[in-house]
């Protein structure tokens, strides 16, 4: 297979990422690449499929998206280090159709609440595998929110818009100390809805954002448009993940 040249950002794009905490980049994937992954995921799967966050390790299709040259080239520029893959997720949100509501969104949060690491240089790439916008539950961000550290939170209580869950995770620090930590579907305390920007990202485009950038999504209110996305989280080589289920990171390059 011919090696693809890695995409490079302009200085203005890098400046925008650091200023706003996120950056939208179009045409990271071809239409064929996005459609092929969706078709692959549409095939029947055994019970328990997608219940772990490490399919990029043992599934070539997942690894292709997580290590895609256009993604990893940008991540390497933004992290200014060799990127390591922490986890991957396929995010499919069904439309409302004839029902009262469509697939629920993810309460607005900061990824470092879920994926604490040292140093706190976590970042993500959210790839749109279908056209995404406010109507079908596309990604939302709060520009500049990464400048204010970790915000206080409360458990999500808006079940109409956001999925609610609670899970206990094993944790381990660099010295080997172990403990458990209960996490839930976080919502940010005192978040002003007027600060939330609902992004429009076409199929094949992506959003890069920091681990401190407040983001999430709302329910799919469209009648027939499935919202599909693929998210990969990265840390720089040498950073430490505290959650034991994602400590075995994989090089992205």
Q: How high is the mean pLDDT of the chain?
A: 93
Q: Is residue 5 part of a domain?
A: no
Of residues 102 and 58, more confidence is placed in 58
Is pTM beyond 0.85? Reply is: yes
Could you tell me how many helices (H) and strands (E) the chain has, helices first?
6, 15
Q: Answer whether residue 71 shows pLDDT above 90.
A: yes
Q: Answer whether residue 202 shows pLDDT above 80.
A: yes
What CA–CA distance (Å, rounded) separates 171 from 116? 10
Contact 85, 71 (CB under 8 A): no
pLDDT over 90, % of the chain: 82
Number of domains in the chain: 1
Q: Is residue 6 part of a domain?
A: no
Q: Is residue 2 part of a domain?
A: no
The pLDDT assigned to 25 comes to 98
The pLDDT assigned to 1 comes to 37
Across residues 167-188, what is the average pLDDT?
Answer: 95
Across residues 156-166, what is the average pLDDT?
Answer: 81
Of residues 101 and 155, more confidence is placed in 155
- Cβ neighbours around 173 below 10 Å, total: 11
pLDDT in tens, 176-185: 999 999 998 8
Residue 241 three-state SS:
strand
Across residues 30-42, what is the average pLDDT?
Answer: 96
CATH number at residue 76: 2.60.120.620
Q: Is residue 230 part of a domain?
A: yes
What CA–CA distance (Å, rounded) separates 152 from 188? 6
The pLDDT assigned to 100 comes to 54
Q: Is residue 25 part of a domain?
A: yes
The pLDDT assigned to 190 comes to 94
What's the token pair of residue 72?
């990893």
Q: Which domain holds residue 68?
A: 11-247
pLDDT in tens, 81-126: 999 999 999 999 999 875 555 688 899 999 999 999 999 999 999 9
């Amino acid at each position: 297979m011919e090696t693809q040249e890695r995409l490079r950002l302009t200085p203005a794009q890098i400046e925008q990422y650091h200023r706003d905490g996120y950056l939208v980049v179009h045409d990271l994937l071809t239409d064929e690449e996005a459609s092929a992954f969706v078709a692959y995921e549409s095939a029947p799967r055994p019970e328990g499929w997608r219940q772990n966050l490490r399919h990029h390790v043992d599934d070539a299709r997942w690894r292709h998206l997580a290590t895609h040259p256009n993604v990893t080239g940008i991540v390497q520029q933004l992290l200014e280090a060799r990127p390591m893959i922490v986890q991957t997720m396929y995010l499919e949100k069904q439309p409302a159709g004839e029902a009262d509501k469509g697939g629920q969104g993810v309460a607005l949060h900061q990824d470092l609440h879920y994926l604490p690491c040292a140093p706190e240089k976590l970042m993500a790439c959210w790839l749109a595998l279908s056209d995404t916008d406010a109507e079908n539950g596309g990604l939302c961000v709060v520009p500049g929110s990464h400048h204010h550290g970790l915000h206080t939170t409360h458990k999500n209580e808006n079940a109409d818009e956001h999925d609610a869950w609670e899970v206990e995770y094993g944790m381990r620090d660099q010295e080997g100390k172990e403990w458990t930590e209960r996490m839930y579907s976080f919502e940010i305390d005192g978040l002003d809805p007027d600060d939330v920007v609902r992004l429009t990202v076409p199929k094949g485009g992506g959003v890069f954002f920091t681990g401190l950038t407040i983001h999430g999504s709302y329910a799919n209110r469209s009648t027939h448009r499935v919202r599909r996305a693929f998210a990969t989280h990265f840390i720089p080589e040498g950073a430490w993940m505290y959650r034991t289920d994602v400590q075995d990171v994989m090089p992205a390059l």
